[in-house]
Structure 1
């Protein structure tokens, strides 16, 4: 943004519900702050116009370092930027603020920053609720599918045993009924797996939208749902984090589906009363997430093909759960979209650990 018409900019700002601003970089003051500043920040404009550092006292404690990094970035780069952070107003009310910053360059030098500040609290809270509902929906689908598939698979196996032993040879009515039961079980197992795969595939096709997110909170919420259901799943779930809060830019809906899918795979290949553990570690510039189990592991000859679509590495679960050969390929694609890496260590009959490392 090399030029700015101050008169037009200020006229628009005077009538807008968003904050319009012009910040003088060298003089360190706001040459313009629109009237919308006062209802959003709930303090008089005059208090901060010539004392911009006062604004930092309103920034949420967890976001102050982030805001300072953002300010340093936009005052040292000839590029527009968009940032989000939280402020704490009177009586402890937290608001979510989105700032769009545009540099004004004169004679090759950055002289001013113009910008627009929006209060996006309502949309952020709505997104949080949607993401939480979506994460719980995915977890619930996996849990329900396990609860339904396992008994259906056992019924199908029992019926197959009766048919193969020829106990009812010559009794056509009984044989027809047993065949009908077996077919219905297999059809419903297929229906359940199709439903899970469809949800995961559809999510991976939607455009990615990364936002600064507390990874610990999101993953803890997913694991908590599994821990609540662990008596029905007959597995032990554990969550460990090196920090109480860890922020990273992710698409929460998609990334939590990755975590869900890895946990679902662990359930599939871990014996009854086995252990599944999720660990989150802060590595300064990146976050490392580990999903491990003490299940049957991955045979060495299949390991090189695990992340391929329709891979030869796909196997049935311990209770006959289907594998469509797409899950791990989609997981890798979503991790790649987050500029991250995924790898694993596994030993047959000793379990597996999957590692995901993403930049903060």
Structure 2
């Protein structure tokens, strides 16, 4: 009697909801209940799916079908509640993102039903996607701008310092005051740019990550594309290599792309003009390997054991006097570990460095 009452309440809620409510009989492999919102979300006849549940798999995006099958096996095998997100293809090839919350119903330890709610999260997903893209491009653009401004500001500061150090303007307080002002402004503006770049990255270790399924190839290509566009101004060449056109993994896109951006930025900092920086992505089955390599000055052997420590003795200025904040590599390691991954490197002084990131898909 209690089961019937609970089902009745579930159906009443479902009949009033804009989300999809469902009850799936696991033993019979058929749906017992689909509310009216099902047809609005999936753009399929509810009656046809009640009679043939396999029709649902046909509307799943081709790149996500393997994911959906694995999710179903996980939920029915482990018999625990789960949330899944994947894409479906509706009429006119329109793609929707949906979130499925599944709750197994057991009887004497045996799985009897799967009940749950399906939400159309396309708008939120699209908005989040654009926010992440804007954030990644902002970080990359600031990094490029900092390199564009750094050298002229440094040259102005150097010229002014030279004027201040000789006796040409001795006794001319007004000129000396103006020169000191110019020198201070150069130093402050370089520091301001660097603070803007590092502020969000430095706070990353204090924020929990929110992992979602994302195409790593697309995300990394978007970041490296900005560097390739500006490579003439940066005086370095950038190369991206991947044998796969698409490669999905569960990541916090915003923070993971901050890691990639920071590694590229470090390569720029320690690679002389006309040097090269390469980013490579490899599919290793259950994991993904990302390599960021350069032919820069490398890391001295005596500093290598301390590289991932906060405020370690390994922090150094860049080739053009760029400041080292001592937190970057520590935060990179933290973010990678929050993704259940690992990071390591190989480096030979005066020959370059390669950083490796391996994360589970």
Q: TM-score, normalised by structure 1?
A: 0.96
Note if contact 1:288-1:355 (Cα within 8 Å) is conserved in structure 2.
yes
2:38 — aligned with what? 37
Structure 1 vs Structure 2 CA RMSD: 1.5
Alignment of 1:333-348 (within 5 A): 333-348=334-349
Report the more deviating stretch, 232-241 or 182-191: 182-191
Say whether the 8 Å CA contact 1:28–1:50 is kept in structure 2. Answer: no
Map 1:129-168; keep pairs closer than 5 Å.
Answer: 129-168=130-169
Q: Is 2:97–2:121's contact at 8 Å kept on the other side of the alignment?
A: yes
Q: 2:154 is paired with a residue of what secondary structure?
A: helix
Is 1:124 the counterpart of 2:118 in the alignment? no
Q: Aligned partners of 2:285 and 2:18: how far apart in 1?
A: 38
Contact kept? 1:235, 1:276, Cα under 8 Å = yes
- What is the 5 A alignment of 1:309-348? 309-348=310-349
- Residues paired across the two proteins, number: 359
Give the 3 Å change call, closer, same or farther, for CA 64–168 of structure 1 in structure 2: same
Counterpart check, 1:106 vs 2:102: no
* Structure 1 match to 2:24: 23
Q: Quote the offset at 1:280 in angstroms.
A: 0.6
Counterpart in the other structure of 1:198: 199
The separation in 2 between residues aligned to 1:50 and 1:316, in whole angstroms, is 68
Contact 2:298 / 2:353 at 8 angstroms: preserved in 1?
yes
Instruction: Give, in angstroms, the shift of residue 293 of structure 1.
Output: 0.7
Corresponding residue number in structure 2 for 1:208 = 209
Counterparts in 2 of 1:30 and 1:197: CA distance versus 1, 3 Å? same
Alignment partners' CA distance in 2, 1:199 and 1:6: 48
When structure 1 is superposed on structure 2, of 153-162 and 49-58 the one drifting more is 153-162
Deviation at 1:153, TM superposition (A): 1.5
CA distance in structure 2 between the partners assigned to 1:94 and 1:339 by the alignment? 30
- 1:58 CA drift (Å): 0.4
CA distance in 2, matches of 1:77, 1:32: 23
The unaligned stretches of length 5 or more in structure 1 are none
SS at match of 2:203: helix
Partner of 1:60: 61
Give the secondary-structure state (helix, strand or coil) at the position aligned to 2:103.
strand
Q: Does 1:259 align with 2:245?
A: no
Range with greater deviation from structure 2 (187-196 or 219-228): 187-196
CA-CA distance at 1:178 after TM superposition: 2.6
- Tell whether the 8 Å contact from 2:204 to 2:331 is kept in structure 1 after alignment: no
Q: CA deviation at 1:154?
A: 2.0
Q: Deviations over 1:210-268 (max 9, x none)?
A: 00000000000000011111111111111111200000000000000001100111111
Q: TM-score, normalised by structure 2?
A: 0.96
Alignment of 1:219-234 (within 5 A): 219-234=220-235
Distance (Å, rounded) in 1 between the aligned partners of 2:360 and 2:330: 20
> What residue in structure 2 maps to residue 6 of structure 1?
7
**1:149·1:192 contact (CA, 8 Å) conserved in 2?**
no
Q: Give ranges in structure 2 of 5+ residues lacking alignment.
A: none
Contact 1:204 1:254 in 2 (8 A): no
- Deviation of 1:168 after TM superposition, in Å, equals 4.0
Correspondence for 2:177: 176
